[in-house]
Amino acid sequence: MRVVSGIQPTGNLHLGNYLGAIRNWVRMQDEMEEGSQCLFFLADLHAISMPHDPSELRSATLEMTAALVACGIDPAKSVLFNQAQVPQHAELQWLLSGTARMGWLGRMTQWKDKAGKNREGQSVALFSYPVLQAADVLLYQATHVPVGEDQKQHLELARDIAQKFNNDFAPKDENGEDAPVFTLPEPFIPPQAARIMSLRDGSAKMSKSDPSEMSRINLADDADTIMKKVKKAKTDPEPLPSEAAGLEGRAEALNLVAIYSAFSGQSVSGVLSEFGGQGFGAFKPALGNLLVESLAPISERFRELRQDREALDAILARGAARARELGSPTLNATYQALGLVRG
């Protein structure tokens, strides 16, 4: 098993990132069998596809590294690095750009959402972003890619690119059979909490780019801030139903119950059998307390780790050296399959 996934180092790590992805990264790392390998990275090259402030990007990369370690990513078990220190990502992206099709990229919902009506004004990087994402996983022959629901389409594109490349360019082995250059990666999307919604709008996903801080809970928020955000979360006037079917059409209520379920380890039905019939006046404080209790150890570690910039730099440098080694056979095979002459 080769597990590979990334996160953009823009803004803070929030509950959606944690429940949709990072918590599963940690589980996969901790359950890893002998011979398997996990690679997790800060997608700093992706972050330049939108307008950004260079000094903020540098500090956000280190902060996000601290946040991942605080969540349980162990640099002694997993390869933890940032893309910018592993030039093979950008190199492979270019090599795959000959295979990816404009039409495929034009259909990406993230591109359509972020570009809106102003497509002509967007960076080329925002458009070709999914090709870099494909390179990120194909470079390491990833078998499993743990992500939230919103990244599923990008992963399907990575599979399409890998498949077309293998079809068009796979060399023959000694028996005359095609020897594929790339493994087709499987997205691993958690059955629950794959899409955590904004606390202000149950139809929008919780996101780092939402201008309202009240829309998301950051893992580093203090207890008062968490309680305030939960209490102000948008809801409806009805009490909670006793069964899951009663949450249909109540996106905000469903989101809060899903968050409670994810942290308590109870099923949605279990949560509703406890809180069914009660109003949000009772449920919100219970949810707030559960969050404060669950996040306290993470935010405490985060506050400690973020101080030591040198240690964080060293983690990334070590991870990047290992990633460069792991990536180079596939990159070489790709150059060769394409007929590119290299010394």
Active site amino acids: 114, 205, 208
29 in contact with ligand TYM (CB under 6 A): no
> Where do we find the tokens 């780790």?
305
Least distance to ligand TYM from the beta carbon of 336, Å?
A: 24
Closer residue to ligand TYM, CB minimum distance, 207 or 266: 207
Residues within window 32-51 making contact with ligand TYM, judged by CB under 6 A: 43, 46
If the CB atoms of residues 75 and 146 are measured against ligand TYM, the closer one turns out to be: 146
Residues 6+ apart with CB under 8 A from 296: 223
Q: Are 214 and 232 in contact (CB under 8 A)?
A: yes
**What is the torsion angle, in degrees rounded to the nearest 10, for the CA atoms of residue 325, residue 331, residue 337 and residue 338?**
-150
Of 237 and 255, the one with the shorter C-beta distance to ligand TYM is: 255
* Among candidate residues 269, 332, 311, the one with its CA nearest the CA of residue 80: 311
Binding mask 80-109 for ligand TYM (x = CB under 6 A): ------------------------------
Confirm or reject binding of residue 65 to ligand TYM (CB under 6 A): no
Going 307 to 311 to 313 to 315, the CA torsion angle's sign is: negative
- CB closer to ligand TYM, 214 vs 311: 214
- x-marked contacts with ligand TYM along 110-139 as a string, rule CB under 6 A: -----------------------x--xx--
| Pairing relationship of beta strands 144-146 and 186-188 according to DSSP bridges | parallel
CB of 38 within 8 A of CB of 75? no
**CA–CA–CA angle 152, 158, 159 (5° rounding):** 95
- Give contact residues for ligand TYM (rule: CB under 6 A): 5-8, 16-17, 20-21, 43, 46, 133, 136-137, 145, 147-148, 150-151, 194-196, 205-207
